[in-house]
Chains A and B, each alone.
Chain A
Amino acid sequence: MKALLQKELRLAMHPAALLFLALSALLIIPNYPYYVTFFYTTLGIFFICLTGRETQDVLYSALLPVAKKDIVTARMLVAVGLQLLQMVIAVPFAVLRQRLIPAGNEVGMDANIALFGISLMMLGVFNWVFFTRYYHNVQKVGMPFNIACAVYFVLLCVAEAAAHIVPFVRDKLDTPDPRYLAEKLVVLAVGAVLYALFTLAACRRAQSLFKKQDL
């Protein structure tokens, strides 16, 4: 697995995927749909898979002395690494946003703990929708990404709308930290669990699909 991860970083990583990590800084914009911030890692993952098709990365990997399921695991570990790294990098910007600009986000959800929890859940859903379609046929990257994006944006719209119209979200979750800390921590924990479950399920399903696929 170590060799496969090294190969992912040396040969398959797209520079834009790393560059997008810097977009965690979007959380410092006073008024912005902050859920969009975490969308950029999904775009980075799409670029990695798209470039991988052009460079025949999947075929090269399949010819190496490794199990086919490990090829999937390595790619998904890279995706998880990027997603979690973006979260970690975003934390200081969320703190800065709250310290420097006390006013809430006019557009939607504040840059707070609950935002991270709900974003994790959304990324988990993205992983399920994208990877289970991508590994059905690795030659088709665009359609799985389009479908996964569409689902992500529906969730994003619902989450942003909820910050305006659902009383619990509007009054408790869409507030500066540390107000309603317990509720927000529960949302973060639930988001993290859902992210792990969706991603793990996606990985198992993708491994099974990739194993059966003719390259």
Chain B
Amino acid sequence: MQDVLTVQGLCKQYEGFALRDVSFTLRPGAITGLIGRNGAGKSTTLKSLLNLVHPDSGDISFFGQPFLGHEQQAKQQLSFVMGGFSYYPMKKLKTITAATRPFYTGWDEDVYRRCIQRFKLPEQKTPRQLSDGMRVKYALALALSHHAKLLILDEPTSGLDPVSRDELMELFLALVQEEGVTILFSTHITTDLEKCADDILYIKNGELVAQTGMRQFLEEYRMVSFPTPQPPKQAAEKLIGCRPSRTGCEALVHTANLPIDGAEVQKAGLEDIMVHMERV
């Protein structure tokens, strides 16, 4: 099956920051999480995909066609949401929808009506009067109404309470299963991804350091802890991002480097992996 998005050698140089040779693909019908700490290059990567930020080099293809030269066709089939829906905070949803509808050749009013009912969106209200979670849902309603096959969301869960985040993750899963959409979303809230992501893209200091399946990524690492303030010397070079813990010290380790004498081994969560890798 054709890849939904292919990115090859994406580079962008800023003063004090550079996006270096970012390459990845998105499988159709998969939820891919783009993780990385603040300032790692998540938003720059996502913005570069749609030429909102102009990359210095790199090739981007949506649905098998290069984005440059087919920009409008690609945008008909995807939706990009930054944060929640932060546009036109004082306009009623029905006004925003009325202004947005004519741009999409595949706009489906029945789908829009169903989304409005399903997400319980009050069309007479303005984005400002909606909760952060409802704003994301409105953005999804607009995306689904023009049958977007790819949803790109930049930090959609940022600022949401745990219940709303959980609801949204459930919704993402439902959209993939029911509508067959592909989702790429950036976040630094790793627990969200553990609930729903199939694949992981991990970006660090502008470089993609991991592109793999979620389960595989989690299986690649383990957490090890030692009862002493410092790890044994023979283990030190196998450890990633060793740090003091309440009972001694702990670190991340590649599964291939196990076993380690004197270490208590536990499964690593996405947060563990990210926190320890960022210490290197």
B-binding residues in A (CB < 8 A): 2-3, 6-7, 10-11, 55-57, 59-60, 62-67, 212, 214-215
13 A-B pairs besides A11-B91, A65-B72, A67-B72 with CB distance below 8 A are: A2-B102, A7-B103, A11-B88, A11-B95, A55-B89, A60-B88, A62-B52, A64-B100, A65-B76, A65-B103, A214-B53, A215-B47, A215-B52
Interface 9-residue window, one of B79-87, B161-169, B208-216, B252-260: B79-87
| Chain B positions 55-86 with a Cβ under 8 Å from a chain A Cβ | 71-73, 75-76, 80, 82, 86
Distance (Å) between the CB of A57 and the closest chain B CB?
7
B 95-114 contacts with A by CB, 8 A: 95-96, 98-100, 102-104
Contact with A along B18-47 (1 / 0, CB 8 A): 000000000000000000000000000001
Complex alpha-carbon distance, A67 and B86, angstroms: 22
Chain A residues, CB < 8 A from B75: 63-65
Chain B residue numbers with a CB within 8 Å of A215 are 47, 52-53
Q: Are A63 and B80 within 8 A (Cβ)?
A: yes
Contact in complex: A63, B50 (CB < 8 Å): yes
Q: Are B95 and A59 in contact (CB under 8 A)?
A: no
Binding site for A on B (CB under 8 A): 47, 50, 52-54, 71-73, 75-76, 80, 82, 86-91, 95-96, 98-100, 102-104
Known: A63-B80, A65-B76, A214-B54. A57 touches B103 (CB 8 A): no
Note all chain B residues with C-beta closer than 8 A to A59: 52, 82, 87
Residue of A nearest to B72 (CB): A65
A-B contact pairs, 25 of them (CB 8 A): A2-B102, A6-B99, A7-B99, A7-B100, A10-B95, A10-B98, A10-B99, A11-B91, A11-B96, A55-B89, A56-B86, A57-B88, A59-B52, A60-B88, A62-B50, A63-B52, A64-B75, A65-B76, A66-B72, A66-B103, A67-B71, A214-B52, A214-B53, A214-B54, A215-B47
Residues of A within 8 A of B52 (CB): 59, 62-63, 214-215
Q: How far is the CB of A182 from chain B (nearest CB, A)?
A: 47
Alpha-carbon distance A67/B117, docked complex (angstroms): 33
Q: Which 10 A-B pairs have the closest CB atoms?
A: A65-B75, A3-B102, A10-B99, A60-B87, A7-B99, A65-B72, A215-B52, A214-B53, A55-B88, A64-B103
Across-interface contacts of A2 in B (CB, < 8 A): 102
Q: From B72, B96, B99, name the one whose CB has the most chain A CB atoms within 10 angstroms.
A: B99
Which B residues are CB-close (under 8 A) to A67? 71-72
User: In whole angstroms, what is the CA distance A57 to B99 when docked?
Assistant: 12
Tally of A-B residue pairs with Cβ under 8 A?
60
Dominant secondary structure at the A interface: helix
**CB-defined contacts of B87 to chain A, threshold 8 Å:** 55-57, 59-60
- Which residues in B have their C-beta under 8 angstroms from that of A63? 50, 52, 75, 80
Q: Which residues of B contact A56 (CB under 8 A)?
A: 86-88
> In the complex, which residue of chain B has the Cβ closest to the Cβ of A10?
B99
Least distance between B53 CB and chain A CB atoms (Å): 5
The minimal Cβ–Cβ distance linking B74 to chain A, given in whole angstroms, is 8
- A212 and B99: CB pair below 8 A? no
Min CB distance, B162 to chain A, in Å? 27
CA distance A212 to B71 in the complex (A): 15
Q: What chain A residues lie within 8 Å of B102 (beta carbons)?
A: 2-3, 6
Question: Nearest Cβ in chain A — how far from B127, in angstroms?
Answer: 9
Closest Cβ of chain A to B2, distance in Å, is 20
State the CA gap A6–B103 with chains docked (Å).
10
A10 and B95 alpha carbons, distance in the complex (Å): 7
A212 surroundings in chain B (CB, below 8 A): 54
- Expressed in whole angstroms, the Cα–Cα distance for A2 and B72 within the complex equals 16
